Structure formats: structure tokens, C-alpha cells
């Protein structure tokens, strides 16, 4: 919190306070007097506030510079306030904007629900559910604001990153990142297929459509039944064989006019392991491979009767399985145990 005297001189600035007024400066410029509007010459700033709204305010450059003296790079000029994290307070001669960002990064990754943030693969800062995140999508040229690690999407490869931290805990963070580096983590569960081969019960036949093979499968996170053209199609010898494997996750599929799957593409990020499963905190270990998981992670397992069902990390703990899985931004997205 910033305390001012009656002349807008900074008397005292408290240590990091999650309830203080933090903002990102989007615009800062000197403006000429407008006799028609009756406004004097001065400095104007556009602030992106923690609630996602913007506010245009006049600001006192001299008082703001004095309040920003402790920043890593004091702004000194009006233009240098753009892109800075500030704590703001209304004064009698304009707002005082105290630049607070004291930590920078150049390749920052942030994972939703994960406390630690990294820069270039190395630990950067920690965050919690009070941390304010200002995110600029350089592709859409839009800003978004999130409060807490449970709200922010996954951020990968932010080339501009600034933060205000207190003993390693981020109070406010600003990142600039390509749109392709922003994901919720849930979208990765879309358009993927894992087939439960244990559900195979011989070729089926349809009077009109001919022969096909039927399996249980997970499609887009849901357990469904799929129909696949057999290895040697009866009704169309020109169709390619489709041989699914348990140790692969599949992406896009092609179907014939009867709705039977005739081809599928393997998902390049598929990983496999086998052995005992152990859960410790937010880490699940498949044999010798440990990965982070969260509340969005999907788990499926095949029981002794070959039936596929949804399950949980705690239910898998201590059991032994073959596992096919994949991760998104270092977090386990889905695991298929059989």
C-alpha cells in the first residue's frame, strides 16, 4: 500500500500486499491542454486493472518516479511506464504509479494449478491463488487478467515476463506470449482415441453395411463404442486394414460411407510405461516414470474382465498396469491403464 502526504509525496510503501491496487500500464503519454474541454496539460496513463477493466487516469510523473525508485529499472520518463506492473494510488495532483516489477524472465512457462513457474527450464518464481496474472496474447493482440494458479491457462514460452515477488512468491505477473503458447490443458483431451483391445468380441455383421469390428474406446474423454472396418473387409477389399494397438493413442480417423473407421493416425506425443503405480502428492509414477497430474487429468483402466472404465489416481495407487499416456505442458492429460 502506498501512503501519500497532502502534496502527493510518498511517505511510506508497505511490503508486498495482495490486497493492494496492482495494474499493468497499457499506455502512458504526455497530453496537451484542451481549452475546449477545460483540461490542463499533463500525463495520462491507461491502466489494466486486476478485475480486467481499464481505466484512464492522470498521473504525477515526479511523484511516480520517486515511488518507483526501488524498481529494477526505474522508468524516469512517461513512455517508460508502458508495460510495467504498478501499484497505484489516487493523489491530489494525479495518480501515483509505483513501478513494482523486480524480476524478469525470457522463456517463462506457467502450468495451471502448479505452484512453481520456470524460466528456460529452471525454477523462476512460485505463485498461489492470490497471484494476479496479466497475459498479453501477441497473436490476437488482446489482454486477459487472471487471479490465482487455478484460473490462469497454461503458458508456454513467454518471451516477455515481469513479476513483483515477495520472498520468491509472485504477487503480480505480466507475460507476453504467442496465442499458440496459451492453452487450458483440457483441449488436449479432444480429438484423441484410445482403443480397449480387450473388448474385441469377434467380427460383427450388419445386413446393409456388412462386416465390422466393434471396440470400446475413449474418444474425446468419453467411453464410447466404435466400429472399425475389419482387417480383411468383406464388402470393400480396397479399404486399408486398421490395426489398433494398446500402446498408442490415436488422433484423427477416417470413416467410410457406412461410418466404419478405415484409418487412424497415431498421436506423436504418446508415452508408455509399465509396472507398479505410486501416487505421492500431485505426482503419479508409472513404473519408473513420474509425472505431475491435477484435477483435470483423465484416468481410465481395464479390469480383469476386459471392461473399460473411468478411475482415479488414488484408485490406481499400488496397482500394476501397462500404461499409455500423454502430457500437456508437463501435466498428465490422460492415462490409459490395462
Whether residues 223 and 153 fall in one domain = no
Among residues 218, 236, 266, the one where a domain terminates is 266
How far does Cα 251 stand from its chain's mean position? 21
Count of Cβ atoms closer than 10 Å to residue 269 Cβ: 14
> Dihedral sign, CA of 121, 155, 50, 43?
positive
Whether residues 130 and 90 fall in one domain = no
Instruction: List pLDDT tens digits, range 54-110.
Output: 999 999 999 999 999 877 788 999 999 999 999 999 988 889 999 999 999 999 999
Report the pLDDT value the prediction gives residue 7, as an integer from 0 to 100. 53
- Rounded to two decimals, the pTM is 0.57
Segments in the chain below pLDDT 50:
2-3, 10-13, 15-16, 186-188, 233-234, 237-240
**How many domains is the chain built from?**
4
Pairing type for strands 298-302 and 308-311 reads antiparallel
Whether residues 239 and 310 fall in one domain = no
Among residues 52, 81, 99, the one where a domain terminates is 99
DSSP 227-280: EE--SS-SS-TTSPP----TT--EEEEEE-TTS-EEEEEE-TT-EEEEEEEEEE
| CA gap 198, 21 in Å, rounded | 58
230 is in which domain, residue-wise?
193-266
Report the pLDDT value the prediction gives residue 77, as an integer from 0 to 100. 94
Report the pLDDT value the prediction gives residue 181, as an integer from 0 to 100. 86
Whether residues 91 and 111 fall in one domain = no
Among residues 99, 128, 159, the one where a domain terminates is 99
Nearest to 172 by CA among 2, 19, 13, 330: 19
Contacts of 206 (CB under 8 A, 6+ apart): 212, 258
Whether residues 289 and 256 fall in one domain = no
Report the pLDDT value the prediction gives residue 338, as an integer from 0 to 100. 97
Whether residues 89 and 110 fall in one domain = no
Give the helix/strand (H/E) hosting 313. helix 313-316
| CA gap 51, 132 in Å, rounded | 10
Whether residues 121 and 179 fall in one domain = yes
Whether residues 262 and 294 fall in one domain = no
Amino acid at each position: 500500500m502506498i501512503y501519500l502526504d497532502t502534496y502527493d509525496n510518498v511517505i511510506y510503501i508497505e511490503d508486498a500486499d495482495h490486497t493492494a491496487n496492482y495494474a499493468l500500464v497499457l499506455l502512458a503519454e504526455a497530453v496537451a491542454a484542451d481549452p475546449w474541454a477545460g483540461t490542463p496539460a499533463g500525463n495520462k496513463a491507461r491502466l489494466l486493472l486486476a478485475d480486467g477493466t481499464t481505466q484512464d487516469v492522470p498521473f504525477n510523473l515526479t511523484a511516480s518516479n520517486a515511488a518507483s525508485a526501488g524498481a529494477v529499472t526505474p522508468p524516469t520518463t512517461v513512455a517508460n511506464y508502458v508495460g510495467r506492473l504498478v501499484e497505484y494510488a489516487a493523489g491530489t495532483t494525479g495518480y501515483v504509479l509505483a513501478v513494482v516489477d523486480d524480476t524478469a524472465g525470457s522463456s517463462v512457462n506457467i502450468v495451471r494449478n502448479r505452484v512453481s513457474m520456470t524460466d528456460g527450464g529452471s525454477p523462476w518464481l512460485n505463485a498461489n491463488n492470490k497471484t494476479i496474472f496479466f497475459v498479453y496474447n501477441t497473436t490476437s493482440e488482446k489482454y486477459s487478467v487472471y487471479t490465482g494458479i487455478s484460473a490462469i491457462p497454461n503458458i508456454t514460452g513467454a518471451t516477455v515476463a515481469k513479476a513483483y515477488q515477495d520472498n520468491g512468491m509472485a504477487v503480480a505477473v505480466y507475460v507476453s506470449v504467442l496465442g499458440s503458447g496459451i492453452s487450458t490443458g483440457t483441449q488436449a483431451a479432444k480429438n484423441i482415441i484410445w482403443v480397449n483391445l480387450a473388448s474385441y468380441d469377434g467380427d460383427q455383421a450388419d445386413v446393409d453395411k456388412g462386416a465390422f469390428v466393434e471396440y470400446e474406446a475413449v474418444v474425446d474423454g468419453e467411453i464410447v463404442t466404435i466400429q472399425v472396418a475389419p482387417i480383411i473387409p468383406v464388402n470393400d477389399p480396397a479399404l486399408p486394414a486398421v490395426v489398433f494397438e494398446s500402446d498408442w493413442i490415436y488422433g484423427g480417423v477416417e470413416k467410410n460411407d457406412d461410418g466404419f473407421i478405415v484409418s487412424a493416425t497415431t498421436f506423436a506425443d504418446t508415452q508408455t510405461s509399465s509396472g507398479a503405480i505410486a501416487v505421492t502428492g500431485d505426482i503419479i509414477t508409472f513404473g519408473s516414470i513420474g509425472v505431475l497430474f491435477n484435477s483435470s487429468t483423465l484416468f481410465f483402466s481395464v479390469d480383469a474382465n476386459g471392461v473399460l472404465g473411468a478411475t482415479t489416481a488414488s484408485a490406481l495407487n499400488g496397482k500394476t498396469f501397462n500404461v499409455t499416456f500423454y502430457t500437456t505442458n508437463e501435466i498428465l492429460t490422460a492415462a490409459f491403464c490395462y
